[in-house]
Structure 1
Amino acid sequence: MRTGRPSYKCNRLQIRQVGFNSVWPGSKMRTLTPNTTKLIELVGKFCGRVRCWRAALTHNIAFFAGSLRKQLVRCAPPLLTVHSSVLLPSFLILILAGCRENSKSPSGAGVVRVGFLQNITHAQALIAYQRGDFTAALRSTGFDCTMQAFQAGPAIIEAIYAGHLDVAYVGPIPALNGYLRSRGQEIRLLSGAAENGTVVIGNPRRNIRKLEDLCGRRVATPQMGNTQDLAARYFLGAAGTACRSQKSADIVPIAPSDIEILMAKDQLDGAWVPEPWGSQLVTKGTGVLLTEEKSLWPDGRTPLTVVIARKKFAEEHRDIVSALLDCHTSLTLELRANKESLVPVLSEAMHRLTHKPFPESLVASSLERIEFTTSAHREGLERLVLIARQLRYMPKNAVRLDDFFLAQTGQTVTTDKQSP
């Protein structure tokens, strides 16, 4: 195994909720069968990087499952043992395919792969996805751009680890966690993108009217290990201010699109989500706004979206990184100057990604709670690291956080008051 690469225990492999939701939705952590574990251990040794097959397993199994998703939910564990002669060779091919280093596009052409989440808090990426801004910005460099939407941040980090993404918009917790777990070898911060924009929603049918009412209740977050998940566990946990004298809330990671369904069915007490999912719950009458997360922090600010890059890509393609950052800054300034004119673009982008109508009124209400910026808000990020380590989200290693803020263009990432 290469020095500095993130490592994982293989003798008793468990796939975390981070990527496992794609095959077994809503399930708890599961343990693979001994035969499958042995096979994956051998593949991991053969590849020389254990992180590689872990990421490949997360993403390639989801692709391999495809239309068989419902059947896998009911019978995947038996299939892995009884019919291993059929499935395990397929797993081997998929995993080995994921072990290839992807510093270039699969076709060999000059393509920059950008990941983002289908949230209004990633508005710069949504606009670029809909209008083709990144493609236009890279035209002079001879590179093209492909963009891929993800459900939550941890999956983006896994894709970067596997070499499947070059640049990404992601929440600060997955970004920092990915940096620290790789001992600073995989990820670099390029810019800030958005602050605030996270809301806490209560179920009115269960008489949830204030934040304290969620103590001891069932609260949904977009995914285990993402920024909202950490905030919910901190403020509604034993160490938080809301539930110190009460039972901690039961935090349940659920995909944002499924949160709306479960709230409508009265199966959740609340949700801790980014926009537009909070405004959607309020608009449809399935939830009430309890508070904005920013009001819970001492300075009334919380970093929500940052732009990161795969370290190797940023070092080898500084001109491309610079072109993307210039485009990102232009989009940020456009959002700050005239959000209203961009509402139709964002509405169309969300409709295109989710295959569901997103009214412009919903997008407009979401934008009111978000502050778009290129600031990295270093103080807020360092605060999140302390909390994440307290909750055992991040390793307590001696990796210098300073290197995370060093842009690969040779300059320090813009912080706070320096940003537009």
Structure 2
Amino acid sequence: MNRIKSLVRSAVVLGAAVGIVGTAAACSSSKSSGSDSKPAAATSAAGSSSAAGGTAASELRLGYFANVTHATAVVGVGHGEFAKALGSTKLTTQIYNAGPAEMTALLGGQLDAAYVGPSAALSAFVQSHGEALKIVAGATTGGAELVVKSDINSAADLKKKVLATPQKGNTQDVALRFWLKQNGLTANPDGTGDVSVNPQDNATTLDQFKAGHIDGAWLPEPWASRLVLEAGAKVLVDEKDLWPGGQFSTTTLVVSADFLKKHPDTVKALIDGQIAANDWIKANDADAQTLVNDQLKKLTGKALTADVIKRAFGEQSVTNDPQASTLQTASDHAVATGLLKATDLHGIFDLSILNAELAKGGQPAVSDAGLSKK
């Protein structure tokens, strides 16, 4: 236990220094709430949290972002699938603006589970020497683009330009820096290089682009769509085009390794709630857009336009598959850009509960790409 506490303290310091984080959210501060969701209209895959063994937790503390790329969590909370699946376990939610605070909270014991980008999960895994967390499911694939001014037509046109990302070292930040590197352009972590990359809040990015202070940004949804539809940006790179089959992980579900060990039945219930939420989203696209937009208004104070929410939904897909085969590639990209140290990723996944629950519903198992065992 002393070793874990020492690792957590180290992780907090490193997280603040390195800043490798997940997708930034629409809101500017963390918000906490209890489980006040309305009952789910869809049938949950689990009626109680008692089938996976261990004891049910009295409370599950869940973090996520107010982003379209976190639609699984937004629907699971707002439509009631999580609360229904968790049964008597109290669901307490916390909204985060970006990954550093969320992963610090998980590592420090303030969260039990979190929806977060793969770079944040990688960072926390590395910082804790592989002991603090497990990726137990995917949540979103796709939904990230490099959008730029209309007169920019190629990578070469970006030299001496200023681009933004949600946070230094987050999933989109790594993607941008690696893509620039592949195209012969430097974008150093200290802000120097051929291209200046300014990590900042997504709402600030929208305002800065409108004002002409930046030339583009690599963003998750709905922010890429907002720059396109509200600020006249155009898509230079759709990240889907950079991955085999257009599949890559944007959002994952991670849980504290200690919580998973003590309360596997509660993790099972959360995963059942996710499966039910994703099934509902896939079967009710228009209603899901409306629900997510209503929840984003509740969480951030402002709804998206109908055109933005429609485009954002069309750029991504919810999924239970964490796209495990792409995680090593994402890690290699972060290492290549100087944002993460090389590490052995074996042990980062535990998809056993997910695959057992998928099998119950007649859905195919997902792969851990051989990374579950240390």
Superposed pair shares fold, TM > 0.5: yes
Does the alignment pair 1:233 with 2:234?
no
Instruction: Specify the alignment match of 1:273 in structure 2.
Output: 219
Q: TM-score, normalised by structure 2?
A: 0.78
- Separation of aligned partners in 2, 1:253 and 1:413: 38
Residue pair 1:201, 1:271 contacting (<8 A) in 2 also: yes
Out of 165, 168, 178, the residue aligned to residue 224 of structure 1 is: 168
- Separation of aligned partners in 1, 2:184 and 2:252: 28
Instruction: Specify the alignment match of 2:78 in structure 1.
Output: 130
Would you say how many aligned residue pairs link Structure 1 and Structure 2?
323
Q: Secondary structure at the match of 1:404?
A: coil
Once the 2 structures are TM-superposed, how far is the Cα of residue 324 of structure 1 from its aligned partner? Answer: 0.7
Residue pair 1:315, 1:408 contacting (<8 A) in 2 also: no
Q: Which amino acid in 1 is paired with 2:164?
A: A
- Separation of aligned partners in 2, 1:402 and 1:13: 21
Unmatched tracts of structure 2, length 5 or more: 21-28, 32-56, 187-192, 368-374
Out of 360, 380, 388, the residue aligned to residue 326 of structure 2 is: 380
Q: Which amino acid in 1 is paired with 2:65?
A: L
- Separation of aligned partners in 1, 2:116 and 2:11: 26
Q: TM-score, normalised by structure 1?
A: 0.70
**Residue deviations 1:99-133 (CA, integer Å, cap 9, x gap):** xxxxxxxxxx9221111111101101111232232
Instruction: Specify the alignment match of 2:51 in structure 1.
Output: none
Residue pair 2:332, 2:342 contacting (<8 A) in 1 also: no
Does the alignment pair 1:115 with 2:63?
yes
Does the alignment pair 1:315 with 2:245?
no
Instruction: Specify the alignment match of 1:195 in structure 2.
Output: 141
Does the alignment pair 1:351 with 2:323?
no
Larger relative contact order (CA 8 Å, sep ≥ 6):
2
**Residue deviations 1:287-312 (CA, integer Å, cap 9, x gap):** 22222111123443221111000111
Alignment of 1:30-69 (within 5 A): none
- Separation of aligned partners in 1, 2:350 and 2:365: 15
Q: If each structure's helix is expressed as a fraction of its own residues, which one has the higher value? A: 1
Q: Percent identity?
A: 27
Q: Which amino acid in 2 is paired with 1:391?
A: T
Does the alignment pair 1:295 with 2:241?
yes
- Separation of aligned partners in 1, 2:18 and 2:70: 23
- Separation of aligned partners in 2, 1:337 and 1:119: 20
Instruction: Specify the alignment match of 1:16 in structure 2.
Output: 17
Instruction: Specify the alignment match of 2:152 in structure 1.
Output: 208
- Separation of aligned partners in 2, 1:14 and 1:301: 28
4+ runs of 1 displaced by more than 6 Å?
410-414
| Pair 223,111 (structure 1): closer, same or farther in 2 beyond 3 Å | same
Out of 106, 121, 124, the residue aligned to residue 178 of structure 1 is: 124
Residue pair 2:18, 2:339 contacting (<8 A) in 1 also: no
Unmatched tracts of structure 1, length 5 or more: 20-58, 64-108
Instruction: Specify the alignment match of 1:418 in structure 2.
Output: 365
| Pair 182,365 (structure 1): closer, same or farther in 2 beyond 3 Å | same
Residue pair 1:260, 1:281 contacting (<8 A) in 2 also: yes
Instruction: Specify the alignment match of 2:284 in structure 1.
Output: 338
